[in-house]
Chain A
Amino acid sequence: MKITFPHLGNSYIAIETLLRTLGHEPITPPLGTRKTLELGSKISPEHTCLPFKIILGNMLEGISQGADTVMMIGGWGPCRLGYYGEIQRILLEESGNDIEFITLEVPRKDYNKAWSTMRKVFSCKNLGAIYKGCQLTKAKMDVLERLENLSLYCRPREKIPGAISSFLDKKLQELRQVSSIKDCYLIYENSEKELEDLINPNNKRRVPRVGFLGEIYTVVEPFANLNIETRLGHLGVEVVRTISLWEWLQDHIFKKIMGKSHIEPLAKSADGYLRGFIGGHGLESVAHSVELAKSNLDGIIHILPLSCNPEIIAQGILPKISSDYEVPIMSLVIDEHAGETGFQTRLEAFVDLMERRLYARV
């Protein structure tokens, strides 16, 4: 099958490998642009959230590149996203796309359906090859997140503006091409060395560090968050992530299959603010805010798409954490109609705030 799938950060690099392993041809849609959003919005309900529209736009662009199948994650637990796949399938069909739609989800009741989905997905029957391919997928996922984290550290310290971003793009494309685990890690090791030449060795300035958290899609997908990590880097701030896509997959798929809960440790961190799971990433946002507030960070940025219920609850709790731990926290609401200028203004003002506090303390 020719399978297309929505973007989530740079995960397409790993997903392509996985799909090839399973015996399919991956059709990676172009990275999100305003055209993607326009395409998706056109056939989306107006009041649905921004991720829904971008995801649908990705699917449409993948289909126009020749995909005959769309793959989407779903299931119970994450948030409304759990049933987005089903709605998107209907919307795609209604707008005249003759495609197969596969939703990957942890089954709750209907094991027969799950079994038939699995049979469709596993078109390659060589178990040894599948095992190897999965290991390579995992390695790519791991290396790409490590590369991203490196760039978050280096960007505020770069010699030439924009150099780190183009370096990261180049390395990610290399990672996309390689086909052995050893090569994946070689790319990472080389990057570590090469980056030393790109950062300013004489910069003694203490770089402010900001924790970044919120609803997972808007955190991970740069098109949705208006490239916030790059913007902050160029404003001279190091971004500290709290969400790893790889960990998230482990929490939501593998642990769920094994019947383990990732909730307990989070609820422990969030103790005193929020007792338990409220859907989506709400508990994570509160728990991670508390953890970050306790560590030596200069600020926290919380991001959410307009109308995202779990994050609205978190947004209501964060000011309390902010005043209890005396750490600035800013919530940013992202929407199709939100302007870039206002977004940049808020970021710049927040960076000024962190810097002035930092220098007042020193």
Chain B
Amino acid sequence: MSNEARNVYLGVDVGSVSTNFILLDPHEKEDNKIVWKQYLRTQGAPLNTLQRGLKLMNESGVWNIMGVGTTGSGRSLAGAVLGADVVKNEITAHAIAALHENQQVQTIIEIGGQDSKLIVLRDGVVVDFSMNTVCAAGTGSFLDQQASRLELPLGEFGNLALKSINPVRIAGRCTVFAESDMIHKQQLGHGIEDILAGLCGAMVRNYLGNVARGKKLEPVIFFQGGVAANKAMQRFFREELNQEIYVPINYDVMGAIGAAWLAKEKLEREESTTEFLGMRLLDSTFTNKSYECTNCPNNCEIVELWCDGKFVARWGARCGSSS
């Protein structure tokens, strides 16, 4: 790699389970314009994880950051820490990333750590979407939990399930019941492949019944998010929908990619330069404070972010005021 700094856009997706970083080089000739990607476990410490990610990025090459976009449930925090140009919700970010891969995409199935989404597009515009409601049944965390209960590496899960010849039927509506149903089937003596395959099938049915709920899933169909790695899930979606399911190469960091594209779009539209705070973030100490605001009867829970003793940002106020 040459020593000349490469012009790239940084995309960060701070999710419940993982924090993903990507660097996007729009001038890269290859189809895959992602020049670096990093997947880290958030481990409940997003600030720490952000700093770790930046450090790894810095070590991986010489970069000139042209713009920064953040997404995911920790997007506001990440946005404030990094000085992001765009702070965007996951649904828009995922849709933009998929559209950059294929403009014909009409359906995006996204299953992440704690939520699953369906995004419906027509003519390159999001026209409808839905997310899992009150329950997290059928999301990545559950697969994760079951894999560790069975002492299987999560990566093996799908491959093992694919070997199944007679998948058992698992009750997939609720994770607690699914787990007891799985244990019950194990005690009866069913093979582990059949049980895993049954579980994947239940998750697909659960998704189609709860998240997709009667919406029309037209091709081209994308399947992205961490769970898309699971080959058995891919197969069950293909069978249930009777359609080709396309898993993009960077299926696990699509949110981050979308955020980077959005940052690029915005900066070019506004002809401005990035707000990115730079590598000095690595040496800074971040602290957060939370308190209850007593300015009005709403008593909002306010979170404040401080960097090296200096105030950075504050959020949580329902009135929208930042003071």
* Chain A interface (Cβ < 8 Å from any Cβ of B): 30-31, 33-35, 161-162, 165-166, 169, 227, 230-231, 233-234, 306, 319, 322, 328, 333, 335, 337-338, 341-342, 344-346, 348-350, 352-353, 356-357, 360
> B297 contacts which of A30, A338, A346, A350 (Cβ < 8 Å)?
A30
Q: Are A338 and B321 in contact (CB under 8 A)?
A: no
Residues of B contacting A306 in the complex (Cβ-Cβ under 8 angstroms): 134
- Residue of B92, B296, B319, B320 near A349 (CB, 8 A) is B92
Asked if B318 CB lies within 8 Å of chain A CBs, one says yes
CB distance from A278 to the nearest CB of B (A): 20
B127 touches A357 (CB 8 A): yes
- Is B128 located at the chain interface by the 8 A CB criterion? yes
**Cβ–Cβ contact A337 & B134, under 8 A:** yes
- In the bound complex, how far is the Cα of B214 from the Cα of A345, in angstroms? 22
Q: Is B273 an interface residue (CB 8 A)?
A: no
Q: Quick one: given A230-B320, A349-B92, A352-B91, are A169 and B133 in contact (CB under 8 Å)? A: no
For B129, what are the chain A residues with a Cβ–Cβ distance below 8 Å?
349-350, 353
Within 8 A of A (CB), among B84-133: 88-92, 115, 123, 125-129, 131, 133
List of B residues within 8 angstroms of A348 by Cβ: 88-89, 91-92
> What are 25 A-B interface contacts by the 8 Å CB criterion?
A30-B297, A31-B297, A33-B297, A33-B298, A33-B299, A162-B317, A162-B320, A165-B319, A166-B321, A230-B319, A230-B320, A319-B214, A322-B128, A333-B133, A342-B115, A342-B131, A345-B91, A348-B88, A348-B92, A349-B89, A349-B92, A349-B126, A349-B129, A350-B129, A360-B123
- Beyond A161-B321, A166-B321, list 18 extra A-B contacts (CB 8 Å): A31-B298, A33-B299, A162-B321, A165-B320, A227-B318, A230-B318, A230-B319, A234-B320, A319-B214, A342-B115, A342-B131, A345-B73, A345-B91, A346-B91, A348-B91, A349-B126, A349-B129, A360-B125
Q: Give every chain A residue within 8 A of B318 (Cβ-Cβ).
A: 227, 230-231
Q: Which residues of B contact A (CB under 8 A)?
A: 73, 88-92, 115, 123, 125-129, 131, 133-134, 214-215, 296-299, 317-322
Report B14 CB to chain A, min CB distance, Å: 11
- Is there contact, CB below 8 Å, between A357 and B125? yes
Q: How far is the CA of A233 from the CA of B128 in the complex (A)?
A: 21
CB pair B134–A352 under 8 Å, yes or no, is no
Q: Smallest CB–CB gap between A300 and chain B, Å?
A: 12
Of B129, B133, B297, B298, chain A has the most CB atoms within 10 Å of the CB of B298
Chain A residues within an 8 Å CB radius of B319: 162, 165-166, 230
Q: Which residues does chain B contribute within 8 Å of A33, judged by CB atoms? A: 297-299
A150 nearest CB across to chain B (Å): 17
Residue of A166, A233, A333, A346 touching B134 (CB-CB under 8 A): A333
Do the beta carbons of A341 and B73 come within 8 Å of each other?
A: yes
Q: Among the listed A34, A227, A352, which residue makes an inter-chain contact with B92, where contact means beta carbons less than 8 Å apart?
A: A352
Find chain B residues with CB under 8 A from A227 CB.
298, 318
Chain B residues, Cβ within 8 Å of A341: 73
Bound together, the chains give a CA A341 to CA B129 distance in angstroms of 17
Nearest A residue to B71 by beta-carbon distance? A345
List of B residues within 8 angstroms of A360 by Cβ: 123, 125
In the complex, what residue of chain B is closest to A329 when comparing beta carbons?
B128
Instruction: Among B90, B115, B126, find the residue whose CB has the most chain A CB atoms closer than 10 A.
Output: B126
Contacts of A231 in B (CB 8 A): 318
Most-contacted residue by chain B among A31, A349, A356 (CB, 10 A): A349
- The 5 A-B residue pairs with the shortest CB-CB distance, nearest first, are A162-B321, A349-B91, A348-B89, A31-B297, A162-B320
In Å, the complex CA distance between A333 and B296 comes to 27
Q: Which residue of B lies closest to A30 (CB)?
A: B297
Known: A31-B298, A328-B128, A360-B125. A345 touches B321 (CB 8 A): no
CB–CB B131/A346 < 8 A: yes
- Of chain A, the residue at the smallest CB distance from B73 is A341
Contact A345 to B89, CB < 8 A, known contacts A356-B126, A357-B127: yes
Considering the complex, give the chain A residue whose CB is closest to the CB of B323. A162
A341–B73 Cα gap in the complex (Å)?
Answer: 7
Q: In the assembled complex, which residues on chain A have CB atoms less than 8 Å from the CB atom of B297?
A: 30-31, 33
With A33-B298, A353-B129 as contacts: A161 and B320 at CB distance below 8 Å? yes
**Closest chain B residue, CB of each to CB of A234:** B320
A164–B298 Cα distance when bound, in Å, is 16
Cα-based distance from A35 to B127 in the complex (angstroms): 38
Q: A335 vs B92: C-alpha distance in the bound complex, in angstroms?
A: 25
Least Cβ–Cβ distance between A324 and chain B, in angstroms: 14
Q: Which A residues lie within 8 Å of B299 (CB)?
A: 33-35
Q: Give the distance in Å from the alpha carbon of A33 to the alpha carbon of B301 in the complex.
A: 10
B298 proximity list for chain A (CB < 8 A): 31, 33, 227
Q: Which of B90, B123, B134 contacts A335 (CB 8 A)?
A: B134
